[in-house]
Amino acid sequence: MIYRKKSYKINPEKLLQFNDFFHQYLYPNQIKHGAKLIGRWVNESNDKIEAIWQYESIEQYEQIEMMIRESELHQKAIEKRAQIGKLFIESHQEFLTSTSPIGTYELPKHNV
């Protein structure tokens, strides 16, 4: 497994608009093509959003990104962004891998 941490620096006044855009365009397209959202958070000052996505491999991530770029929903997202303007100030992503041996940090499946 690999994880992609996507960070956005946003104007706090754009938080609701950014969330609406995410839920209408970005999230459904990612899920449709095989990405798994682990979680998405905003800080207390509402000026930074962090999302963590899970993929089987970097190759799967690249394949999903290619399918997204070719999708109709992605084209609609581009058109919508042109209408509503800039939703974030900057973004950054990095890829992470687990430091634990498989299963180490998981809760037991059942109690004895």
Q: What is the pLDDT of residues 41-96, one digit of tens each?
A: 999 999 999 999 999 999 999 999 999 999 999 999 999 999 998 999 999 999 99
Q: How far apart, in Å, do the first and last CA atoms of the chain sit?
A: 29
Side-by-side strand order, sheet with 2-9:
36-42, 48-55, 2-9, 90-96
pLDDT value of residue 98:
87
pLDDT value of residue 111:
64
